[in-house]
Structure 1
Amino acid sequence: MVHAARWVVSATLVLALAPLAWAQEWAGWRGPGRDGIAPAAQTLETWPEAFSRAWEVPVGEGYSSPVASGGRVFVHSRSGDREIVTALDLASGAQLWQQDYPAGFVQNTIAPAELRGPFATPTVDGGRLFTLDAGGVLSAWDAASGALEWRNDYSASVSVTDLFCGTAASPLVAGATLFVQIGSDTAGGRVLALDPATGREIWAWVGVGPGYASPIVVDVEGQRQVVTLTESSLVGLNVATGELLWSVPFIDEWHENTVTPVWTGTHLVISGPRQGTHAFTIRRQGNDWQAVPAWSNVGVTMYMTSPVLAGGTLYGHSSTRSGQFVALDAGTGDVRWASEGREGEHASVLMAGDDLLLLTSDAELFVAAPDAEAFTVVRHYDVANGATWAMPVPLPDGLLVRDATSLARLVPANQPPG
């Protein structure tokens, strides 16, 4: 009977934790679709009056966002001159494994206040965790054990002697291919297609230095394309061969092309701190491809915030008025509404089920209605004790939030009786 009772308890625990483990797959930059959208099953149905910390652990410094897959949380960080990769149990926060390695990356002298990374968010796929550090070292880890499977060192192409401040494009797995973007303004840039199992190069596109945005894969008229920003352009590459299909200038004097492109189904939308927000129609003309300007709004300047699309409206965070939330008509670029301002230097923007999540770099989390007519805040929380540059991870019972030095799992606080 004792054994039977233990079995029942164990089975009950497994069943209780299963929804948290398996409903949550936020395995890379901006989530499962790389678009900042979390399905309703992966987030809270209702937002509480307050959160409490189920657990909080120190993880080291960095801007890289955590990812969650298979009941585990993975985070890439730095301590001194070493890069650290850690796997935690999602339910308890217990460390499952940790690896570290020497990283000699030194930040550009034009950005003395910046951390030395990491900037890129890891990607989990096929039982492997892929990390890319600021110096251009790409590593593939066994997600279960933490064993290093392979490593490609691209640091020879990363120079911070001009304007470049470190590798930031998050790795992407699409189909059976791993895509990374590496290089610098002085050494030139490359987009690489690799075999995820071995790191073997399948193809390479060589061009100018990278921006800081992350690549996406889109399907346009049956043609799958890798779309990404360089330091001075937006490009589309044949996903199978790396052939340049089209390119359009997107020039910033400081090479700060940081916003991940958004594909609306009809337009590619990009933004920059000085160029404003622009949309392009990608179309085939005979055997050639063209990126044709569709609309521009130079007054909405998104610096590091990648917008999210919901119901024909783009929601984002502009650097104007000391930081303000904005809603744009995705078809025309017209401003539907803008908040008063002073909402921080940066904000992560997500759609979590039917709710809009806006986490500022000052650790303020706004839950808002995705309303194209007005900025309507449903809940407002202070969620961390330090700066929150990383994107939060929505969970069925709360959130993962990384601040300057720690990672916490937030769950609804106990509500008073009645």
Structure 2
Amino acid sequence: MILLRPLLFSILGVLPGLSEIPDWGEWRGPTRDGQIHKGAKAWPETLGDENFKKQWSVDLAEGYSSPIAVENRVFTVETSDKKNEVVRAFDRGTGEQLWESSWKGSMMVPFYAAKNGSWVRSTPACDGKLLYVGGMRDVLVALDVQSGDVKWRVDFPEEAGTQRPQFGFVCSPLLGEDYLYVQAGSALRKIRKSDGKTMWKTLEDDRAMFGEAFSSPIWATIGGRKQIVVQTRMLLAGVSPENGEVLWSTPVKAFRGMNILTPTPVGDHVFTASYGGGTFWYEIDSDDESQSVTELWNDKLEGNMSSPLVIDGKVYLHGRDKRFHCIDPGEKKVLWSTKNIYGDYWSMVANGNRILALDDRGTLMLIEADAGEFKLVNELEVSARPTWAHASVCGNEVLVRDLKGLTSYRWE
């Protein structure tokens, strides 16, 4: 049963300057590649207390879901008392809570994942009208952004007869014009926004260990063909958004299917890295009728959970070894690796040649992207609690979700 507690239905006035701040409505931003919006002003040369000021902060229950911001609202998801999943909407300028919606939906994850908690993981997506939220027990819920009212709800194990995923619903929904694309119900699915109906499904795998994906899909145009690049627990593939046809695919080696990070299209190539498999660089060949994939390079450097950035053709990756690396996939070289060891996870956002990286230990770092060496400009502790959720960076607004709270900063 779904519990809804509207707290405030009126739209609060937008604070001066807030209307100029762009949205961050999906996993890793509007283009899902960790790149700040085009035309953004350059970030300040330093990161410090004098120019990085807290605007507001709210306490929450545990969660790994990243905050998203659309128009005058910020949305986040949490797991309360190990029983319920709760979605909250806050005023973007003041942090005042506008509404919340909740449902029973918690579960315990197994094995190595249990040490970090069984909190909600999927980052929602918002198109300005509806908020699409993935619940741990493989449910997808659409909420009205103004009121929090539930518009539709799909329980994939009940409706599709699939197994509940051992590690929960992890994939973050990908927005299309009239449809969503998400790995849920043991497949990649095209879902109609208006009612939650599955229009097609592909790349099905209902095995308990390898069924539900960890990775999130991304749009790409490869060989002139618009497609969804998606990584299952076992495969990397390009899929037609129209009919679900698999345009190309290749196995990706990983320990127990731990293909976690978001795949990275670069022109007609795709970069990825896996836990237990290494770093991979693929070329996608196209002719008039079909596409095929060729592995050009496989390096022993392993990825883990941190999705990489591409700047000037170089890939910047936080690896399983907890070091930061610069890779030139075209030259098939790891250019440099840091001597310092960092946390288990980084979320990263790029603006030109600057990287804003949030370590899971609560440290925010400003880095200058340089193919010759690692250049840390400076760093700032933003939380004493773990910060596993991806940072959201909208213009000069930075949203940091730590394990038990959400804080809005303004970069002056």
Matches within 5 A, 1:264-283: 264-283=266-285
1:19 to 11, 17, 23: 17
Residue-by-residue CA offset, 1:132-184 (whole Å, 9 max, x unaligned): 01211101111111111111111452435xxx42221100112322111114x
- The CA deviation at 1:56 is 0.9
Question: 1:240 Cα shift?
Answer: 0.3
Name the CA distance, whole Å, in 2 between partners of 1:248 and 1:238.
Answer: 16
Contact 2:398 2:411 in 1 (8 A): no
Q: Could you tell me which runs of 5 or more consecutive residues in structure 1 were left unpaired when the two chains were aligned.
A: 1-12, 184-188, 414-418
Are 1:379 and 2:384 counterparts?
A: no
C-alpha displacement of 1:99: 0.6
Task: Determine if contact 1:235/1:244 at 8 Å carries over to the other structure.
Answer: yes
Give TM-score scaled by structure 2 length.
0.89
Following superposition, the deviation at residue 319 of structure 1 comes to 1.7
For 1:379, what is the secondary structure of its paired residue? strand
Amino acid of the residue matched to residue 347 of structure 2?
S
Contact 1:56–1:409 (CA<8 Å) still a contact in 2? yes
Secondary structure of the 1:149 match is strand
1:232 alignment partner in structure 2:
234
Alignment of 1:168-187 (within 5 A): 168-183=170-185
For 2:404, the equivalent position in structure 1 comes to 405
Equivalenced residues, count: 389
Please state how far the C-alpha of 1:206 moved relative to its aligned partner.
4.4
Residues 92-107 of structure 1: pairs in structure 2 closer than 5 A = 92-107=94-109
Q: Conserved in 1, the CA contact under 8 Å of 2:139 and 2:169?
A: no
Give distance in 1, aligned partners of 2:151 and 2:18.
Answer: 28
| Aligned alpha-carbon RMSD (Å) | 2.0
Secondary structure at the counterpart of residue 114 of structure 2: coil
1:297 alignment counterpart:
299
CA contact (8 A) 1:231 1:251 kept: no
Q: How does 1:10-409 map to 2 (within 5 A)?
A: 17-39=15-37, 41=40, 44-50=43-49, 51-80=52-81, 81-108=83-110, 111-156=113-158, 157-159=162-164, 164-183=166-185, 189-208=186-205, 209-285=211-287, 287-298=289-300, 300-320=301-321, 323-409=322-408
CA distance, structure 2, for counterparts of residue 334 and residue 76 of structure 1: 39
Over 3 Å counting, the alpha-carbon distance change for 1:149 and 1:293 in structure 2 is same
The CA distance in 1 between the partners of 2:253 and 2:329, in whole Å, is: 22
Structure 1 residue 285, shift from structure 2 partner: 4.3
Asked if the contact 2:70/2:128 (under 8 Å) is kept, the reply is no
CA distance in 1, matches of 2:20, 2:150: 25
Please name the residue that 1:416 is paired with: none
Which residue identity lines up with residue 204 of structure 2 in the other structure?
G
Secondary structure, counterpart of 1:112 in structure 2: helix
Q: CA deviation at 1:24?
A: 2.2
SS at match of 1:254: helix
Q: Secondary structure of the residue that 2:253 maps to in structure 1? A: coil
Q: Is the 8 A contact 2:311 2:352 kept in 1?
A: no
1:90-111 superposed Cα distances (whole Å, 9 cap, x missing partner)? 1111101111111142322554
Structure 1 residues 21 and 76: alpha-carbon distance in aligned structure 2, compared to 1, 3 A threshold: farther
CA contact (8 A) 1:355 1:369 kept: yes
Q: Give the structure with higher Rg (CA).
A: 1
Give 1:337 shift. 1.7
Distance 1:68 1:346, change over 3 A: same
Alpha-carbon distance in 2 for matches of 1:155, 1:167: 12
Q: CA distance change for structure 1 residues 158 and 353 in 2, over 3 Å: closer, same or farther?
A: farther
Deviation, 1:233, is: 1.1
Post-superposition offset of 1:315: 0.8
Runs of 5+ in structure 2 lacking a partner? 1-11, 206-210
C-alpha separation in 1, matches of 2:200 and 2:235? 20
Rounded Cα–Cα distance in structure 2 between residues aligned with 1:269 and 1:224? 17
Distance 1:106 1:203 in 2: 30
DSSP 3-state at the match of 2:388: coil
User: 2:253 touches 2:276 (CA, 8 Å); kept in 1?
Assistant: no
Deviations 1:206-226 (A, max 9, x none): 422233010112112232222
Secondary structure of 1:304's partner? coil
Q: Which secondary structure does the structure 1 equivalent of 2:257 belong to?
A: coil
Provide closer, same or farther for how the CA distance between residues 197 and 88 of structure 1 changes in structure 2, counting only shifts above 3 A: same
SS at match of 1:337: strand
2:17 is paired with a residue whose SS is: helix
Separation in 1 of the partners of 2:106 and 2:391? 28
For 1:271-311, what per-residue CA distance to the aligned partner results, in whole angstroms no more than 9, with x for missing partners?
1121111111112245332111122222x211001001111
TM-fit CA distance, 1:354:
4.0
Taking the aligned partners of 2:94 and 2:170, their CA distance within structure 1 comes to 30
Identity in percent:
29
Amino acid at match of 2:17: P
Q: Distance in 2 between matches of 1:294 and 1:18?
A: 51
Residue type at the aligned position of 1:58:
D
